[in-house]
Amino acid sequence: MNSDWRRKENGGQSPLENAPETKGSPKRGPGNHFALAALLTGSVALISASISFLRIPALILGGIGLIVGILGLRSPQGKIWSVVGLSASLVAISFAAITLFHGGDDNSSENRLTQVPLRNPVTRASARENDNRETDWVDAGTNAAQQGDVRVRLISIAVGPVDFKELPGPAGKSQGASTKSVQKRPREKYLIIKLRISNAGAGRLIEYAGWNHPSPNPEAGLLSLRDAGGKEYSLKVFPAGREVVGQVSKASIPPTKWVDDVLVFEAPTGRVEFLRLELPGDSVGNKSNFRLQIPGRMIATRQP
C-alpha cells in the first residue's frame, strides 16, 4: 500500500526511477606530454653524449629537452619528470660541449702519450730522467710509450754491423746456399734499434706501416733521432736486394699481440748522453707521435 501511494505521488514512477542521474567520476584529461618528452629527450641526449660520434646530435637533443622541459613546468602535473628531463639535458649538453672542444686536441685520452712501466726495466732512471716524466718524452729504459691501444717499447739498441738477407739468384737459389735465407753481415757499423709494437686493446686491429721507410702521407710527422746536443742521425734506407733481417714493411696486429721491427741509423761517432727517438703516429693510425728518450748507457756494441 505504501509503495503504491508513493508511486502515485511521483506520477506513477518509483522513487528510484525518478531519482536524478549521478555523474560518474570525471575522466582524466591528457597528461603532461611536455614532461614526458623532456624526460625521454634528456635521457637519449645523455646516452648520445657518451658516444664520440653522436655528441653533436646530443647537443641538439639536449636543446630540445631544455625547451620541452621548461614547457612541462607550466603544467601542474608531472613536474618531477620535467625537472629530471631538464637535468639530463643540461648534463648532456655540458658533457658533449666539453668533449667536442677538447676532442681535436692532441692531449685527449686517445692521443695522449702515457708511460707504462716495464716489468723488467733495463736501467734505473736518474734524477734528471725522472724530471722527464712531466714532459712528452718517455724514458725507454724504464717505460713503454702508449697512445690509445698502441704500445711501443725498446727491445735493444746497439752499434755494429747490420744483418742482411741474401736473396736467391735467378735460378731460385744462391750459389753454395741452401733454400733458406742466408744472413750476410758487412763491415760498416750502424746504430740498430729494435722496437716492439703491441696491441694493448681488446677490439681494434692495428694496421702497422713500418717505420723503416718514409710515410707516403705528406701530412704525417717525420721520424727523427737526435742526441742531447741536437745532432740528428739519418735513417738508413737500403736499396732493393738488401733486406735487413728483422725489418717489417707492414703488419696487422690483433688484440694482445705484437710485432718487432728494426730501424737502422747512422752510428754516433762518440759517447752520447741520450738519444731522442720520435716515431710518427700515422704509421699505426694515431694522430700524435711516440717519443722515446734512450739513455746513452743502454747502447751496446755488436761484434762483427
Summarize pLDDT for 84-143 with one digit per residue, the tens. Answer: 888 999 998 988 888 777 654 444 555 677 888 988 776 665 444 444 444 689 999 999
Give residues with Cβ within 8 angstroms of 26, minimum separation 6.
none
Q: Is residue 10 part of a domain?
A: no
Could you tell me which of 142, 143, 138 has the C-alpha nearest to residue 288? Answer: 138
| Amino acid identity for residue 185 in this structure | R
Statement to judge: residues 96 and 236 lie in one domain: no
Same domain assignment for residues 96 and 201: no
Give the pLDDT band (50/70/90) at residue 266. Answer: very high
CA 290/CA 48 separation, integer angstroms = 31
SS3 199: strand
Whether the Cβ atoms of residue 61 and residue 48 lie closer than 8 Å to each other? yes
Across the chain, what does the average pLDDT equal?
Answer: 79
Q: What's the CA gap between 165 and 184, in Å, rounded?
A: 6
In a domain, 19, yes or no: no
In a domain, 158, yes or no: yes
Q: Are residues 294 and 159 in the same domain?
A: yes
Return the pLDDT at 276: 96
Task: Count CB-CB contacts under 10 A for residue 178.
Answer: 8
The CATH code of the domain that includes 243 is 2.60.40.1240
**Please, are residues 123 and 297 in contact by the beta-carbon 8 Å criterion?**
yes
Asked if residue 108 is part of any domain, the answer here is: no
Last residue of a domain, one of 83, 103, 123: 103
Please indicate, yes or no, whether residues 209 and 90 belong to a single structural domain of this protein.
no
Give the domain range for residue 95. Answer: 33-103
Q: Is residue 4 assigned to a domain?
A: no
HSE (side-chain half, CA atoms, 13 Å) at 160: 13
The x, y and z cell numbers of residue 1, run together, are 500500500
Residue at 130: amino acid letter: N
Q: Are both 249 and 276 inside the same structural domain?
A: yes
Instruction: Classify 43 as helix, strand or coil.
Output: helix
Copy the grid coordinates of residue 63.
Answer: 636543446
| 18 inside domain | no
Q: How many domains does the chain have?
A: 2
Whole-angstrom distance, CA of residue 289 vs CA of residue 276:
12
- At residue 292, the pLDDT reads 96
pLDDT for 205-230, tens place per residue?
999 999 987 666 555 568 999 999 99
Same structural domain, 84 and 149: no
Q: Report whether 276 contacts 292 (CB < 8 A).
A: yes
The pLDDT score that the predictor gives to residue 214 is: 67
End of a domain among 103, 126, 141? 103
Task: Write down the pLDDT at residue 175.
Answer: 44
Give the pLDDT band of residue 167 (cuts 50, 70, 90): low
Is residue 208 domain-shared with residue 279, that is, in the same domain? yes
* Residue 51 pLDDT greater than 70, yes or no: yes
Tell me the pLDDT tens digit for each residue of 229-259. 999 999 998 887 788 999 998 999 999 999 9
